[in-house]
Amino acid sequence: MKHGDFTALARYYKYRTGYSDRVLRALVGVTGGLREGFRVADVGAGTGKLTEHLSKLGLQGYAVEPNGAMRKEGERAWRGGAGVQWINGSAEHTGLPRHSVDWVLMGSSFHWTNAPRSLREFHRILKPAGFFTAIWNPRDLPHSPVDQRIERLIRERVPELKRMSSGSNQSGLEEKLLSTGRFHRLLFVEAPHVEIMTPARYLGIWRSVNDVRVQAGSRRFAEILNAIKKETAGLSSIRVAYLTRAWTVQAVD
C-alpha cells in the first residue's frame, strides 16, 4: 500500500465520523449556500462523508472522486439520494465545466494534492467570487483520554511516525492557499464536537487510516490494531472528541 492509496480501505470508511455541524452551517452562511441555483463540489469525496452532510444542509452539486473503489462505495451508499452527481475526477482535473459551481470543498484530502494545480482547477470551475474550503476533522487529543492512550501505544511501536493526514498541524497552509494569487480573503473556522461510538466502530476507523498503516508496515500495524482491541475491550461505548478545522478562501475575479 502507498501513501494516498485508499483502494483497500474504502470498505472501512463507513466507520468514520462526519464534520462539525456548527462549522459547516457557519460556512453555508458565509458562502450563501442556500440561495437558489447554488452548486457545490465535494472534491476528493471518498465515500461521501462530507457530501452527505452538505446534502442534509440542503446543498446540491457534485461528488468528485478519483479512486474507483471509494467512488463505488459512495455511489452505493448514495443510491436513491437526490441532488448529487458522482464524477470520476481529481482535484487537479475535476472534469467539471468552467464556472459551474459556487463552492468547492475538500474534506481531509487537500494535503494529498498538487496544491498549485488544484487551486488553478478550482478557480477555473468556480463562478466569479466563489469559495474554496479545505476542511479537516482531527481528533481533539486533549479532550479524548482514550485517544491519548492509543496515540502513546502507536508512538511506542512506530517512533518514526510522521502523520500526513491530520488537520491538527497544517503549518504553511494559509500561505499555500494564497500563493497563486487566484484566491484571497482567507477565513479560518474551527469548532469541537463529540462522537459516541462502539469499540467495533472505533477499531473500524483505525482500519481506514492510510498514513499509519503505510509507515508501520503490516506487522506493526497488526500489533497496533490488537493493542487497540485490548485497550477498548469491555467498553460499551467510547467518547471521541474531534476538532473540525476549516480554511476558506474566495476566488479573485
Residues 17-26 have pLDDT tens digits of: 899 999 999 9
Cα-flanking dihedrals φ and ψ of residue 246, to 5°? -135, 130
Q: Is residue 143 part of a domain?
A: yes
Cα-flanking dihedrals φ and ψ of residue 39, to 5°? -130, 140
> Which residues span the domain enclosing 231?
7-251
Q: Is residue 237 part of a domain?
A: yes
pLDDT tens digit sequence for 176-228: 999 999 999 999 999 999 999 999 999 999 898 888 888 888 899 899 999 99
Q: Is residue 2 part of a domain?
A: no
pTM of the model: 0.91
| CB neighbour burial string for 43-59, b if at least 16 within 10 angstroms, e if fewer | bbbbbbbbbbbbbeeeb
Query: How many distinct structural domains can be found in the chain?
Result: 1
Q: Is residue 43 part of a domain?
A: yes
* Helices marked H in 79-184: 115-125, 145-157, 173-178
Judged against a pLDDT cut of 90, whether residue 59 lies above it is answered with: yes
Domain CATH number, residue 138? 3.40.50.150
